[in-house]
Structures are given as C-alpha cells and as structure tokens.
Structure 1
C-alpha cells in the first residue's frame, strides 16, 4: 500500500502466497485512516497504519496471523470475524505502543485504527479462501510493507 501526505484513503493488496504452490489469491485491503496513511502514521494510535516490522523497536521479521478467526461481533468497528495478529503489542521506533491488531472487514467508516481491513465482498472471499487453504495450520507469517 502506498503511504503519502494526502487525506484520501489509500488501498493496497493483501496476498496469500504458498512457497510451494505459488500465488493463491489477493484482495484489496487498507490500514489506518486517510490522514494518517503517511510515513509517520505508524506511531499514530487510533488511526495510524499497521507498523511494518522494520519500523518497530526492536525490529522483527514478520507478524503471525491466527488461522481460526475470533467472533468479535460485539466489538465496534470489527462487528464480525477477526484474525488476530501477533505479536499482540509492538513499539514503534518513535516509542509508541501499538496493539491488538487484526485482519477484519471494514465495518463502519472507511479505514481502520491500525488493523488491516477489507471491504465486505473482499473479506468474505478472504475468509473462505484463507480457511480452506490453511486447513491444518494454526498460524501463518504476515509481511507488512509499504510503498513511499
């Protein structure tokens, strides 16, 4: 996903890739809110983008995503299934803690508070494909990266 200094909501791609099978599928996704989808947005609690691992202190190689979703129908902004990401909490290089990141549907306003979100139709397809392709796995690696 590109990061820039415009208030427009940027969208990128969430890709499911198997090193043996190759490309499986890709979906339109976003993270953060338009005004905070910029380079410094990783440290904005409540609207900044999901920090890329190399932007954290200490840096790490990748996130992990739980294959079995949680039922978060009661959580405003998620209102349905959510796939937790670990580590649960990360600290950006600027010293700001970001936590409780998920992959979920874009439930109320366009964008997220830092989670990776997909529009309804994309999220439905993501859930079906993700759970079908990952039978037998508890979690998978997730790389987060941005274009500047």
Structure 2
C-alpha cells in the first residue's frame, strides 16, 4: 500500500492541481484531486517557501489514524506527514499533512484534497486500512 502525490510545478498565477493516488497491494489505484501550496507559489524552487510553497519532493510516511485540528484552512481531520521537520540546505518545512482544503483555496505546504466527497472517501478508506492493522503508509511526492 502506498500514496503518491504528483503535480506539475510551473509559473502560473492561478492555483495548480495535482493527483494524490492511493495504491492498494493488488495494484488498484484510487485517485484524488489535490493541491499543495498557494496560488503563485507553485513554481519549481518554491517548495522551500515556508507557509506558501508546495510540499518538498521526497519520501514520507503518513499515519492511517488522523487527529482533529481547528486550524483555519484545515478545520477537521489531519494526517500528519513525517519526517517533521523536513530539512535541506534549501530550507526547513514543518507541520505538513494531508487534509481537506477548507476556506481559501490552496495550502501552506500540506497536501489538500479539493472535493469534499473525495475527502470523505479518503478518510473512510484510511479508517478501513487502520482497522486492518496498518499503522502508516509510505507517501511519495514527485514533481514530474
């Protein structure tokens, strides 16, 4: 089981969208429309812009059991991405997660699912995976 987030990083003033894919052990994928970062902050190199840019490319883990956050823009379940913080010679990013993209479109670096029905489906699938005994799932972030 794994998650893969992909999104093209380009110079654009509008919010860009990507794909979060949940892949089951049998190879069956489930796709979710998602974004990471804020409009006009989704260019190559913006991954290290704290509070604005998309999540840095890399390999992560997410728990199958979320916790609740009242933080504006999240206001609900939050799947905390580790390692936390993410450190490189280009910067530090911290407190990243997967959540529903509430309020103003875009995220401060998290992966935000766009459609409420897709978000509910994602949460239901993660709950079923947690009930099966799986505690965490690998997450790959790639910018083709």
Task: Tell whether 2:23 aligns with 1:17.
Answer: yes
- For residues 45-99 of structure 1, give each alpha carbon's deviation from its aligned partner in whole angstroms, at most 9, with x where no partner exists: 111000012xxxxxxxx10001001011x211110000011001012341x1100
Structure 1 runs of 4+ aligned residues shifted over 6 Å read none
Match of 1:4 in 2: 10
Give the gaps of 5 or more residues in structure 2. 1-6
Q: TM-score, normalised by structure 2?
A: 0.89
Task: Check whether the contact 2:64–2:129 (CA below 8 A) recurs between aligned residues.
Answer: no
Q: What are the residue-to-residue correspondences of 1:1-148 with 2, within 5 Å?
A: 1-18=7-24, 20-53=25-58, 62-72=59-69, 74-94=70-90, 96-119=91-114, 120-134=116-130, 135-147=132-144
Name the one with the larger strand percent: 2
In 2, the alpha carbon distance for the partners of 1:129 and 1:75 equals 23
Match of 1:59 in 2: none
3-state SS of paired residue (2:138): strand
Task: Check whether the contact 2:10–2:44 (CA below 8 A) recurs between aligned residues.
Answer: yes
Give the gaps of 5 or more residues in structure 1. 54-61
3-state SS of paired residue (1:38): coil
- Number of residue-to-residue matches in the alignment: 136
In 2, the alpha carbon distance for the partners of 1:121 and 1:9 equals 20
Cα RMSD, aligned residues only = 1.2
Q: TM-score, normalised by structure 1?
A: 0.87
